[in-house]
Amino acid sequence: MNKTVLITGASSGIGLHFSHKFAESGHDVILVARSEEKLRSLAGELESQYGVKAIVVLSDLSKPEASKRLYDEVTTQGLQVDLLINNAGFGLFGEFEQTDVSKELDMIQVNITALTELSKYFGKDMVRRKQGKILNVASTAAFQPGPLMAVYYATKAYVLSFSEALANEWEPHGVKVMALCPGATQTGFSNVAELESSKLFQSGVMSVEEVVEAGYSDMMTKNKTVIIPGFKNRVLTKTIRFIPRKMVTNIVRKVQERI
């Protein structure tokens, strides 16, 4: 039986492609983002192209009350979320003393707080039903500190640690929790984070289609807790364990500097 999937940050990038992937596979989708025009257009496209039900829920997850309102709206409509994709998130590039603290606090709210709340609200229902899956979008940034993106890297380290812990807690209850950890990916993320001119994004990135295909395949068919798309990314995340932490941090700094 096909499931209902809730996807945050569904209007662009990884979230947009996950929306198409799940709808193509016959799943109904609950699309969550801030942009009504983009979501309405996407919902219409998914319904006409794949014959599934696409529900639009507008939500700005940078607002403290947004996650609870999202959960309440979904449950009030009598919708059951079988799969949760916590994809919404963004980054910010720059030296910490110069970056905008309000943007960083919004980042923490979206990348950490909203993800945690939505995992709590929908996860409790999954535990009660003894089935469900949660995919939290982290990053290869989760595996090391990130000078020039200090807050972003720290938020993704939280997402990875949180996901691994929940996976252990909820496995006996039939609920699978996974962390998707892509490396640099060609989405709108780099524009928002002001990273287009960094060495990281100039040195080659994965396509969003490759990332979503890997994430979907492992989420639906394998029993992995940590999903790292791309051979190079998997090698890098394993290699840094054997390099002194200070050296890793210096390397990340050099990679992230603008050309």
152 is known as an active-site residue? yes
d(CA 254, CA 204): 16
Gyration radius of the chain's alpha carbons: 18
Q: Three-state SS for 56?
A: strand
* Residue 223 CB coordination number (10 Å): 9
> How many helices (H) and strands (E) in the chain?
11, 9
How far is the C-alpha of 187 from the C-alpha of 18, rounded, in Å? Answer: 13
* Strand bridging mode 132-137 / 28-33: unpaired
Nearest alpha carbon to residue 38 among 7, 64, 72: 7
Q: For residue 71, indicate whether it is catalytic.
A: no
Asked if 82 and 130 touch (Cβ cutoff 8 Å), the reply is no
Cα–Cα distance, 88 to 210 (Å, whole number):
18
Q: Which one, of 242, 142, 224, lies nearest residue 183 by Cα?
A: 142
Length, in residues, of the chain: 259
Strand partners, 137: 180
Catalytic one among 50, 71, 121, 152?
152
User: Which residues are tagged catalytic?
Assistant: 152, 156
